A and B are shown apart, each in its own frame.
Chain A
C-alpha cells in the first residue's frame, strides 16, 4: 500500500483522483480509505475545529506576510497558500517532544509548534536569521539550503533513539529537494540506523519555475521503498489524510520501526517567493484547477456537513485570524534593528581573538561618528 501513480500521469500537472490516498473529496464529502481511516477515526469535533482553525490562521498569516512585503515592511516572503492542509495537518499529529526541521515555507508547521507573532516576520524582515527559540517550539531554524535539514532531522532522530526516548524528528521539504544529495543521504542514514524520523515532502508541483516533471520521472513516494523506507502518497489538500499519514508515520517511529516517507501531493497557489512571477512559467488553467481543490474550503465543507462548524464558528475563527494578523503586523512594524556591533556576536560560542579584534576596530570606527546624528 503506497503509491499507484504511473509515469504518464505525472506529466499532467493535476493528478488523477485515484492516484493519491484521501478521505475527503475536493467537495468535502467523506470517502473511505482502508489505510488512512484507522488513524483519524478518533478525531473529536474539538480537534477537527482546531485543525480548521489553524489552517485558516495559517492562510491569514500568509496573506499578511505577502501584504507586509508589498508594503515594503518585509524584504521577502515565501507564500504557503494552498499548502495549509499538509503543514497544519502533519503538525497537529505531533507530540510536544517531537522536533521539526522546517524549510522556509512551513509557516503552518511553525504555527502548530507554537511560534509567536514576531517569530514569523523578523527573519523575512532582515532583523534576525531565526527569531524563534528552537527549544521553546522544538523547531530548528527555517532552512534555506534546499534539503539540508533532512540530514539534521535524521541525526537528531539517531540521538533520540540513543536516548531511548519516543521523540520523533520530522524533516519538511518540497519536491525539488528530493533531487538533492542530502535528502537521499538522509534516507540512507535513516534506513541504515532505523532512525525515528519522518520525511514530509510537500510536492507542490513547482520548484520555482521547474515543474516536478523535471525532477521526477517516477512518483516521489516511490523512491523511499528503494531505501527500505515505507511511504504513503496522499492528497496534500486533504487535511484529514495529512493527519492520518503523519500519525501512521509517527506511530511506526515510536514503535522502533524507523523512518517513514510521506509525499503530500499539493499545489503552491502563489509564487515561490514574493520576488517570483509564476505567470511566466505556468498556465492559469492549472492554477484554476488546483483552486477547485482548496484545502481550507474542503475541510470547511466537511465540517459544516457534519454539523461540527457553523456560521458562528466560522466568524469566530475569522476573528482569531484577524487578531493574529494584527499581532504579526504589530511585531513587524514595531521591530527594532539591533545595534550594529551585535552583528559580531554569537559567531563563536567561545572567544575568538581575530574576530574580537575586528569588532573592536569597527566599534572604534563607529564611535568616531558619535554626535553627528544618525549614521
Chain B
C-alpha cells in the first residue's frame, strides 16, 4: 500500500491504462506539458509521448466528437473536460452521439470512451468551475456514470472505466484531489469490486446516509459526530450513479428503516430524487420515517464566498438525521 492523493491515484491509474493497452490515449486541454490544471496527468506526456497524451484545441465538442471518431477507428480515448461547467459545450456530442451510437447501430459500434470531469465545488473557484451536472448524464441512457470518493477507488475505477466497452462519465471530486489515502498499486484489477457496486463506507444501525463523491467524506464526518450522541449511522458510497446499486442501498435501508440522501447537486429531479423514489418503491414497508434529502439548493452555483451555504455540510446532514430519527423537536428544544 502507498499513501497517494486522489489526483496521484488517478494519475497512476491512467499510467497503467496507457501501459497495458496501446489503443488507449488521453486527450484534453492542457493535459500534456502542463499535466492538467490539477496536475492529474502530470508527467504522462513525458513518459508516453505526445501521440498518446494529446494537448487539444480549446473546444469541448471537438474533444469529445473526435474521440467518438477515434473510438470508431478502434481506439479507447480518455478525455479530460477541464472543469465541470465546461462540459456543456460538449453536451450534444455526449448525449446524442457517445451515449447512443451503440444503440443506434444495434450494438455494432462500441464507444469505449472515458470522459473525466473534475467536479463540484468547495475549492473557492470562479463561476462555472464548481458545478454538479451528474443528473443530466444519469438521465441519459447509454452512459455509465461513476464518482470516486477516495484514492483507492479512484485508482481502480478509472482503470475499470477504461476497460469498459461502454462510455463512462468519470466524476473526480476536485475538493478531494489533494487528500491522501492508502492505494494498493499492485492489486489485480480482476480482484477489485466492479465499479457498478456501491460500498458500505461505514456500518451502522440507526439510519442510512446514501451519498457519493466528496460528500462521502462529509457524511462520514457526520457519522463520527453522531456517534458521540450514541447514534449509529451507516454510510453508503454509491460509487456508481448509473446504474445505481439498489441492492446495497435497499439492504441498508431495510436494516435501519431510516434514510438520508445527500449530494451537492441541486435537489429537483436529481440523483437524490431517484434514490428516494426507488427506496420508497422497494423498501416502503421497512421505512419508519419519510426519507430526507440534503442537497445543494435549486440555484445556480453561488459565488464562492457563499458556497459553504450551498454545499451540504455536516450540520445540515445531522439535522436531517435528527428528522429521520424523529429527534427534531428534542433538538430544537
Contact = CB atoms under 8 A, between A and B. Distances in A.
A149 B242 CA distance: 27
Given A185-B59, A192-B57, A346 B65 contact: no
20 contacts: A129-B106, A141-B109, A145-B96, A151-B61, A152-B72, A154-B66, A155-B68, A156-B70, A158-B66, A159-B73, A182-B61, A182-B62, A186-B62, A189-B66, A345-B107, A346-B106, A347-B102, A348-B102, A353-B245, A353-B247
B260 interface: no
Contacts of B166: 348-350, 352
A350 B64 CA distance: 21
Given A141-B105, A181-B89, A347-B141, A155 B69 contact: yes
A134 B108 contact: yes
Given A181-B89, A185-B59, A354-B243, A156 B69 contact: yes
Contacts of A148: 65, 92-93, 96-97
A157 interface: yes
Interface in B67-99: 67-75, 89, 92-93, 96-97
Interface in B149-183: 164-166
Chain B CB count within 10 A is highest, among A129, A134, A348, A355, for: A348
B263 interface: no
Contact of A159 (B69, B96, B109): B69
A40 B73 CA distance: 31
A128 interface: yes
B74 A159 contact: yes
Nearest to B71: A155
Contacts of B100: 129
A140 B97 CA distance: 12
B110 A154 contact: no
Contacts of A185: 57, 59, 61-62, 65
Nearest to A154: B66
Given A152-B97, A349-B110, A159 B70 contact: yes
Nearest to B65: A151
Interface of B: 51, 56-57, 59, 61-62, 64-75, 89, 92-93, 96-97, 100-110, 112, 141-142, 144, 164-166, 196, 242-247
B72 A189 contact: no
Chain A CB count within 10 A is highest, among B51, B65, B101, B244, for: B65
Nearest to B69: A155
Contact of B69 (A141, A153, A348): A153
Task: Classify chain A's interface size.
Answer: 35 or more
Contacts of A182: 61-62, 65, 92-93
A375 interface: no
Chain A contact residues, majority secondary structure = helix
Contacts of B59: 185, 188-189
Nearest to B77: A155
A290 B100 CA distance: 38
A214 to B, nearest CB: 22
B187 to A, nearest CB: 21
A133 interface: yes
Contacts of A354: 242-244, 246
B273 to A, nearest CB: 15
Contacts of A350: 164-166
Interface string A113-134: 0000000000000001110011
B69 A129 contact: no
Contacts of A101: 69
A349 B165 contact: yes
B243 A346 contact: no
A355 B246 CA distance: 12
A139 to B, nearest CB: 11
B68 A151 contact: yes
A135 interface: yes
Chain B CB count within 10 A is highest, among A169, A345, A349, for: A349
B102 A152 contact: no
Given A159-B70, A186-B65, 20 more contacts: A99-B72, A129-B103, A130-B105, A130-B106, A134-B108, A151-B65, A155-B68, A155-B70, A156-B69, A158-B69, A158-B70, A159-B72, A182-B61, A185-B65, A188-B62, A345-B106, A346-B105, A348-B102, A353-B245, A355-B243
Interface string A87-105: 0000000000001010000
A354 B143 CA distance: 12
Contact of A130 (B56, B96, B104): B104
Contacts of A129: 100, 103-106
Contacts of A352: 144, 166, 196, 242-243
Chain B CB count within 10 A is highest, among A150, A185, A345, A353, for: A185
Contacts of A99: 72-73
A141 B104 contact: yes
A336 B166 CA distance: 29
B108 A163 contact: no
A65 B179 CA distance: 61
A76 B74 CA distance: 33
Interface string A165-188: 000010000000000011001101
A160 interface: yes
Contacts of B61: 151, 181-182, 185
A46 interface: no
A119 to B, nearest CB: 12
A311 to B, nearest CB: 43
A333 B224 CA distance: 67
A307 B61 CA distance: 51
A162 interface: yes
